[in-house]
Structures are given as C-alpha cells and as structure tokens.
Structure 1
Amino acid sequence: MTKTRHAYVALVTCFRDDETIDFAATRAQVRRQVAAGNNIMCAGTNGDFTALTFDEKVRLCAEVVDEVAGRARVIVNAGTPATFETTLLAREVDRIGVDGIAVITPYFIACTQDGLVRHFSTVADAVQTPVYLYDIPARTQNHIEPDTARQLAKHGNIAGIKDSGGAQQTLEEYLAVSREHPGFEVYSGPDHLVHWALAEGAAGCISGLGNVMPDTLAKILTAFNAGDDAAAEAAQERFSAFRKDLYGLGYPPALVKRALWLRDPSVGASRQPALLPDAEQDRQIAKILERYGL
C-alpha cells in the first residue's frame, strides 16, 4: 500500500494594529486551511516566530491545537538560538500535545555539525513528541549537512526533516537518508518542488505559499495520493507560476502576509521592523491575485 503524503501550511500569525496577536483571526486561518484539507505548522517562518515571545508561542500552539480539534495534524516550531531555551519551549509544546515539534537550526550562533547533533539530540531526549529537524540556511546561516541528518536519523525520537534550503541536490541527499532510514521523513519546503519531492519519496511538504493558495496546494497532494500525476503536475505548475510572480516582488513571508491582507485585512501586518505596507507594491500584488483568480 502506498503511503499517504501530507501537506502542511506554515500558518501566518495574525496581528492587530497595535501588534498584539489576534488569536480569533488566527483561528479563522486555521479553519480555512483545515477546510481545504491541509495540516498546520504554527510558529514557523511565515508565522513570524522570531518576533514572538516565549509565552506567546506557547499560547499560540494551544490556540491552534484547540481550533484544529483533531481534524488535522499540527507541527509547532520550537526552535530558538540556544539549546536551553529550545528545550524549555519544546517541553511546553510537548505538554500541550501536538503531532510533531519542528526545531529550526540555531540562528546568530555559528554552529559546528557536532554542535547541531548535540542541539537536536538534547531537545529530542527531553520530549515524547517526535522531533523534526528544520533546515533553512539562508535565514539561520547554519546548515544541516546530509551526513549530520544521517547521524540524527538514528535517534529514536527524531522523525524527519523539513528542508527549506531551496536546492534540489540537498533535497535529494536528504531523501537518500530517508531511504536508508525508513522512519525518517523528509518534508519539502520549496514550493516549486512539491510534486517532484513527492515523486521522489518525500512524506509531504510544509508550504508558506499555501496560506494564499490552500486549495491548489491541497490539489497537488490529493491528486498525487490518488495516482493522478497529470492533475498533480497541473496544480504544481499553477502553484509554481504564482510563486515566481509573487516572490519576484521581495521577501516571501512578507509578501504572503500582504497578499492575504489584500483579501482579508484581519490577518494584519507583520511585527516591526518587517517591511512596511507599500501602496505601489500592493497594486502589483493585487494584479497578481487577479491574474490567478484570487
């Protein structure tokens, strides 16, 4: 029997004008994604996790889990620069109860590969919930080498990796690790590689762009799971084209949030010092949304 693949959306965190979290609006985004058939990753890059306090991350996790109410899977990013705080946060998330704890590579602190092994192993030792490595070197300046992933795959509570590096070669190398260690799952982060990654054996994807195009993302997965590669590829082509147009305007998470805001102002802006709204950019985003019937 072919294993079912899963799509997660790296959910935006909604803010009011005073930059406090709007939990009601965030719950509405959860409902929208669950209705489309997607799972949730909260407190990730598209969720402005670097701008959230410790206590806000804990409450955000609890609110999302409560809203999902078992209708979808939930993964929470508990990564911080230091192992000590990451472990504390992971334990809080573990207590709430989620399907997975993602741990982004430390940022600001330059890490050796041995340091990364110690970091992830310490967190995984401290919780019962399966831990997923989260590699996004362009943002953190620390990269999990494939051999390091291979070593960590042997840990009994490290269940896989989210690859947001954007390089197909690295994704291929992580997929090779998953073939060597069947319990180690690979989730694709680059939105233009979703269908390719599924075909190569990825367990699924974790997508930022799915915030704006939830139904198209879900279509890639449902079509693939049904064995309809033509429909999956057609949905991927639409997804990739939209990605190229939108992300061509600047920093992807900010553009995802702004594209959502143009359709639903309740999502709010990102916390400062993120990119301020720009009328000309908004006009360009609006044209893109219109072009894709959004």
Structure 2
Amino acid sequence: MTPQAFVALVTCFHDDETINYEATRAQVRRQVEAGNNIMCAGTNGDFTALTFEEKVRLTKEVVDEVGGRVKVIVNAGMPATFETLKLAREFDRIGVDGIAVITPFFIACTQDGLIRHFSTVADAVETPVYLYDIPARTHNHIEPETARRLAGHGNIAGIKDSGGAKETLEAYLQVARDVAGFEVYSGPDHLVLWALQNGAAGCISGLGNTMPHVLADILKAYSRGDLAEAEKQQATFAAFRTELYALGFAPAMVKRALYLQDASVGASRQPALLPDREQDLLIGEILKRYNLC
C-alpha cells in the first residue's frame, strides 16, 4: 500500500472568532493541490475551542471542498464517551474516510476505561475508527498492549501516535506487523521518514500546514524508492520544525507561521496565543530562511 500523508488542517477564524469557512476551504484546496490528505478538527484545528455544531459543519464543508479527491479523517474525541459517540455518529452520516478518537482529556482513564471508550464508538459507526494517542496533552496514554487488544476490533483500523517516543511508535508498529489491517500513522514531524521505513502507513502532520509540498515530497520520494531525496526533504522538514517549535507551543507556532504566510487564516480563539510582534519577527525570519514568504 502506498503510504499516505495527512495534514492536521488548521481551522480559520474571522477577527470576531467565528469560523471562516471560506478561508478554511482555501487551505483544503492548498493541501489537495500538494497531494496531501486532510484531517480536520484535530489538535492543530483548535478542536477543543469548537462547539459540537461547528465541528459538524466544519466537517461538511471540508468533505464538500475535497469532493472525493483525497481522503478525510475527522477527530471526534472528547472527554466523555457520550459526546464522542454523538459526534462520531454525525461524522458517520456525513461520510468521511476515517474517524479519529483522541484519548479522553481531563478525565483520568484506566486502560480498561480506554478500551470501553474506543470500543463503544467503533461499535456504533460504520466508518473506520483510528485511535489517537497524544499523552502530553491528554494525560492519558494508550499502552501498546491496549492498542493490540483494540486492533482486534473489526472497526478499529489503526492509530495516530503523537507521543514522540520512538520506543512507543515501534511498539505500535509491531502491533501493525502482527495484526492484519491495523495501520500506524506517525504524528511527530521529525519521524516521518523513519516511521515509513519501519512500516508506518503514513503520517498525520501539523507542520504540513506551513510546508505542504515538502511533506508531500517526503512521501512521494520514499514511494518511488528515492531515499536520498526523501532524506533531503525530511532534513528540511525537521530543521524547520526545530527552529519554529523552539519559539513556543507547537500548534500555536504552526498557526502563527501560517498566518504570516496568509493572514486569512486568522488567530485562534482565546485564551490561545495572542499576536506578539517580537515573536512574529522571529517567525518571519525563519520563514524567509526556508523561502516560505
């Protein structure tokens, strides 16, 4: 199977903090043109700041704009299984290629609780469900053995690993090697190529919002067997990541870097990062070094 790149798409906002759906559609077109698939309502899409109704409309708008040209995954995960289930059913009706379910946040979960949570959602929809592990943000972690148990569910298709630890990613990849049909998508942008070389089905990238063609070129070069080009593009991607993320919280830096490329994306809803002239100048210098503005 050809590995796939998904971009965890930003959600664009007007100055009054309402969603700018037209600007968001423009970002969809930009990613489709580069050859990337879309994940919406994820961490980089400010999903925790969106209402239930907004997530449903956002997904409809993204699916409509994509028009079947690439795949769309949407995140339904919320702290309680109840709301996660309601969202997943809405996304199932809209028609997406996958429903990601981030681990519950704020609520401390046992591994058995996580199994119940994910299984309940996967039981209720026809769309394939993807586990989404990002313990630094949710403080709940899907242990590799839990992923193995969930991989046996007929409607759990894989996992997005955003933990950043090679050891955990390798353990998930071992599950994929052992369980047919279970896919692993790498979240950390510095591990895209490494993950592909070790059997990942692809990646789901936040940084791809700002470097869509570099991300796509990593996957394209790898797929055609041009390892030297894949390594070159990965090195560029990783170096940009290191410089940008040194300035602050990763999703906020991605959104701000993209804003400096295209002001129509807007800021994020409060209490997210406010514009900072000094920080913007530093981001602008990085963008110039990578010929992004």
Aligned twin of 1:90: 88
Amino acid at match of 2:76: A
> What are the Cα deviations for residues 194-240 of structure 1, in whole angstroms up to 9, with x where unaligned?
00000000000000000000000000000011111111111000000
User: Structure 1 residue 248: deviation in Å?
Assistant: 0.4
1:257 counterpart (255, 258, 262): 255
Matched, 1:224 2:222: yes
User: Structure 1 residue 244: deviation in Å?
Assistant: 0.1
In structure 1, how many angstroms separate the alpha carbons of the residues matched to 2:288 and 2:15? 26
Matched, 1:278 2:276: yes
Matched, 1:172 2:170: yes
Aligned twin of 1:155: 153
SS of aligned partner of 2:101: strand
> What are the Cα deviations for residues 241-284 of structure 1, in whole angstroms up to 9, with x where unaligned?
00000000000101101001111110000000001110000000
Aligned twin of 1:78: 76
Matched, 1:288 2:290: no
Aligned twin of 2:29: 31
Aligned twin of 2:58: 60
> What are the Cα deviations for residues 19-39 of structure 1, in whole angstroms up to 9, with x where unaligned?
000000000000000000000
Matched, 1:215 2:218: no
Q: Which runs of 4+ in 1 moved over 6 A?
A: none
In structure 2, how many angstroms separate the alpha carbons of the residues matched to 1:264 and 1:239? 20
Matched, 1:130 2:148: no
Identity among equivalent pairs (%): 77
SS of aligned partner of 1:46: helix
Return the TM-score normalized by structure 1. 0.99
In structure 2, how many angstroms separate the alpha carbons of the residues matched to 1:196 and 1:285? 27
Return the TM-score normalized by structure 2. 0.99
Aligned twin of 1:51: 49
Amino acid at match of 1:74: V
Amino acid at match of 1:241: A
Aligned twin of 1:103: 101
SS of aligned partner of 2:7: strand
Question: How many correspondences in the alignment?
Answer: 292
Amino acid at match of 1:160: G
Query: Structure 2, unaligned stretches of length 5 or more?
Result: none
Aligned twin of 1:119: 117
* CA RMSD after TM alignment: 0.3
Matched, 1:6 2:8: no
Query: Structure 1, unaligned stretches of length 5 or more?
Result: none
Aligned twin of 1:238: 236
User: Structure 1 residue 182: deviation in Å?
Assistant: 2.0
Amino acid at match of 1:169: E
In structure 1, how many angstroms separate the alpha carbons of the residues matched to 2:167 and 2:84? 29
